[in-house]
Amino acid sequence: MKIKYHVWKYKELFAFILISLFIVSFFFVHAKHSFYSKSEPLEHSKAIKLNKIDHISQELKTDKTLPLAKVAVEFGTYSRKNQGFLHVQLFENKTCISEWHYDTARLADNAYQEFSLDKPYTLHPQDSYYLCISEDYSGDNAVAFWTSDEKGGSCWQNRRLLQGKSLCYQLTYTNPKLKNRGILLAVLIFLIFGILIACKLDEKLLMSGLFLTLGILYMCACPQYIAPDEDHHFLRAFEISCGTFISPHTEKSGGNFLPAALSESSDSDILDWNDTKYLNFTNTSLYTPVTYLPQAVGIKIARCFTNRVSGIFYGGKYANFLASLLLCLAAIYWMPFGQKILFMIMTFPMTIQEMISMSPDGFTISLCLFFIAYVFHLSYGNVEKLRKRDFCILAGLSLMIALCKIVYVVLILLTFIIPNHKIGERKTWMGLKFGIFSMALAANLIWLKISSVYLVEIRPGVNAAEQIRYILLNIGDFYGVAVRTLMENSDYFIKTMFGDPMGALNIALSPFVWITFLFLFLYEIYDSRRPTLKLHSFDPLVMALIFLGGSGLIFTSLYVQWTALRNEVIEGIQGRYFIPLIIFPALLAMYRQDKNREKETNVSVCEKSGQYYYLILLTLNGIALLDIVQYYL
């Protein structure tokens, strides 16, 4: 009886431990197949049919003293289903260290077939290694092995040297030291946050610590130039740090004369102002100096201490993350409700990648989220009357957002949800709301005029002027194009919003990450409907207009700048563009009208404790980090 009493007394703790172990097991299973590095695959040139009498022997070249985990060989099947078995043996000097018997019916045509060792075997450059291949079917098979003209070691067929040819093979090594350190770090972080959650640490502090930790981990895992066009973002930020806010242009080509070492293709890492050349970065010359403010400040400070390009680059990168971090943490503290939804948006792998890179999107997203939280604080928080400081902050944030990206200018409409009685008389609140929006829109249009000289039609069939004319004369047709784009590519928008693929759209994440993120996001929206949330009369309409208007501007801008004239589908849209807007449909879904309850202006900070929520977020980002590390090994 006493045992049953104690078990029931601590049932929440036991449930927490069991679910935590279940969640973290996903990370460790994924880690088991990570931390691999591969040799470069050889480019195939000729396929040679493999017959029963053939014995293929390939010398394996290795310059690493690392444990070998897999050997892969490229085979062809002439699109036929073959019979019999392949016999593959791996020799060290004259000793067979591993062998495989593989059903040829399972071979894929013109693809590498992997042969995994039972346990990693350390190769040494001073020893000789050979791979021997044969088959046992005497009938008419169509198995072929691909050869390459590249130097990958000597290859023999029935003891006859295939002069100048090499078997197309690839070696996969494992890095046990890195793997053990990564797992140890993961266990330590998971235990720390598990204890903090079990001790019921204040959720805002927990969110802050988790976001900071994830940011540092991504900063360490992601190398230079991981984000799309990060090399050009670096050049634009460097130019601004030198005091050039508008890039010189020649024949619609934006760029500047900068130290040649800044070019990604340069072999020099030392900044030399006596060795300059014209560097073209037209695509980022379009951006205002405001979007690169943190990076430019970081670069300026770094230049005071070092002349190494890599050090200067990381100075801008660190400053960008620091600014984004401070804005996001402030947003968490200012937001009167829906903090967990806001926090999840901040911890999307794609969001964090943008924040720790040189890309201006990270700072823009953080600025937008902070603006949203601050306006909701003024509207629904314990603010009886707006002060001059609030007016200045609203005006400054609105101006910065309008200058960051034209598509986010609709966010300024959010100021209209602030109750008029908190601002003042009719003349005052009308002047504030319409004045801020007009000022932001004017600044946006002015920069659009300035940057129009950098609009270069780099894709076949793109004609911005004609595309605008076509849209204005055929609104109905353009609406059809937008709907068709949404229907055909909605899954891609969702995946790329959460972070699949990462990097310059070249790092594939496990589908488990974005699928779980999506379900968790939807679940939190549903679960957050429990507390009372009574929005002001016209607030749902304003929020819906912001989301639809921002989405419409994203579709329109990419149809004009990136899509061929009168194309039936809009090209170039990525899910990350919608990250600052996705909170509005989430908040609208949370909204639940209850006529039997009085209006509440002070909503609880966090809807519920949600112990497992943070562990899942931590695990999902851990899996994403494993995929990033694996890509660069």
Position 400 scores a pLDDT of: 92
**Confidence class of residue 72 from pLDDT cuts 50, 70 and 90?**
very high
Output 17 or 174, whichever has higher pLDDT.
Answer: 174
What is this structure's pTM?
0.86
Q: How many CB atoms lie within 10 A of CB 632?
A: 12
**What is the average pLDDT across 22-44?**
82
Residue 371 C-alpha from the chain's centroid: 23
Provide the b/e sequence for 448-487 (b: ≥16 CB within 10 Å): eeebebbbbbeeeebebeebeebbeeeeeebeebbeebee
- pLDDT at residue 629 above 80? yes
The 3-state secondary structure of 521-535, one letter per residue: HHHHHHHCCCCCECC
Position 321 scores a pLDDT of: 95
**Confidence class of residue 410 from pLDDT cuts 50, 70 and 90?**
very high
Specify the 3-state DSSP secondary structure of 103.
strand
Position 593 scores a pLDDT of: 46
Torsion of CA 321, 265, 282, 404, to 10 degrees: 0
For helices 176-198 and 611-632, give the axis angle rounded to 10 degrees: 170
Secondary structure percentages of the chain, helix, strand, coil, to 5? 55, 15, 30
Pick the closest to residue 88 from 122, 121, 136 (CA basis): 136
**Confidence class of residue 425 from pLDDT cuts 50, 70 and 90?**
confident
508-559 tens-digit pLDDT? 888 989 998 998 898 888 776 654 557 777 888 999 999 999 999 999 888 8
Position 9 scores a pLDDT of: 52
Q: Where are the domains of the chain?
A: 41-174, 230-244+281-608
95-114 tens-digit pLDDT? 899 999 999 889 888 999 99
**Confidence class of residue 30 from pLDDT cuts 50, 70 and 90?**
confident
Instruction: Report d(CA 608, CA 590) in Å as an integer.
Output: 14
353-368 tens-digit pLDDT? 999 999 999 999 999 9
Q: CB-hemisphere CA count at 13 Å for 310? A: 6
Is residue 292 within 8 Å of residue 403, measured between CB atoms? Answer: no
Cβ burial, residue 51 (10 Å; 0-12/13-18/19+): middle
User: CA of 513: how far to CAs of 221, 291, 443, in Å?
Assistant: 17, 29, 39
Position 12 scores a pLDDT of: 61
- pLDDT at residue 599 above 60? no
Residue type (1 letter), 484: R
Position 24 scores a pLDDT of: 77
Position 322 scores a pLDDT of: 96
**What is the average pLDDT across 491-495?**
91
- pLDDT at residue 8 above 70? no
**Confidence class of residue 605 from pLDDT cuts 50, 70 and 90?**
very low
**Confidence class of residue 224 from pLDDT cuts 50, 70 and 90?**
confident
Percent of the chain with pLDDT over 70: 91
- pLDDT at residue 461 above 50? yes
Q: Which fold has domain 41-174?
A: Jelly Rolls (2.60.120)
Is residue 491 within 8 Å of residue 575, measured between CB atoms? Answer: no
Position 80 scores a pLDDT of: 84
**Confidence class of residue 36 from pLDDT cuts 50, 70 and 90?**
confident
